[in-house]
Amino acid sequence: MKALKCAVLALLAVSPCVAGKTPGNLPDVVTLIGPYAINHTQAQNSVIHLKLPESGTAIVGFSGGDEFVEIWENTSRLSTKTSGNKKSLVVSSSLKPGNRNTVAVSTKCGLSLSLVIHGIEDESDAGSIQPKVIISTPDCTG
């Protein structure tokens, strides 16, 4: 316990010195697996595949003016919820490994999305889990 307390105090003492510096490559702290960002044309012309362990959660978000309007899933193994501003869609999965199911989405700007959620093993390496995509969308009226 004393060693932990000393380590925390040392970290707090060093943190202000490091705060002003640009961070270097921190592969052990943050690893991005992607690409996670696509534009609205790519989203419209593609099927988006998300891979989740059982009891996993994925998110699809918009940067731009579009909003989620309607979402359909055809199984009790998936549930969906939009954020208050309708720019994020959360998909919760209880799909068993090897199973997959789809979610259909329409948006205010007329975008039609097809999401395929794949169930994978809980012990899967981080590189095989794909829980996030951001779609850049134009502003629209509607």
Total-model pTM = 0.71
Q: What is the pLDDT of residue 22?
A: 44
3-class secondary structure, 96: coil
* Segment 103-107 long-range contacts (CB within 8 Å, at least 24 positions apart): 103/71, 103/72, 103/73, 103/78, 104/71, 104/72, 104/73, 105/60, 105/68, 105/70, 105/71, 105/72, 106/69, 106/70, 107/62, 107/66, 107/67, 107/68, 107/69, 107/137
Residue bearing tokens 């590189």: 127
Give the model's pLDDT for residue 14. Answer: 40
How high is the pLDDT of residue 122?
Answer: 81
Kindly give, in sequence order, each residue whose CB lies less than 8 Å from that of residue 56, ignoring residues fewer than 6 positions away: 92, 93, 129, 131
Beta-strand (E) ranges in 86-137? Answer: 88-93, 100-107, 112-120, 132-137
pLDDT of residue 8: 38
pLDDT tens per residue, the chain (142 residues)? 444 444 433 433 443 444 444 444 444 444 445 558 888 898 899 898 888 888 889 999 999 899 999 999 988 999 999 999 999 999 999 999 999 999 999 999 999 999 999 998 887 776 667 788 889 988 887 5
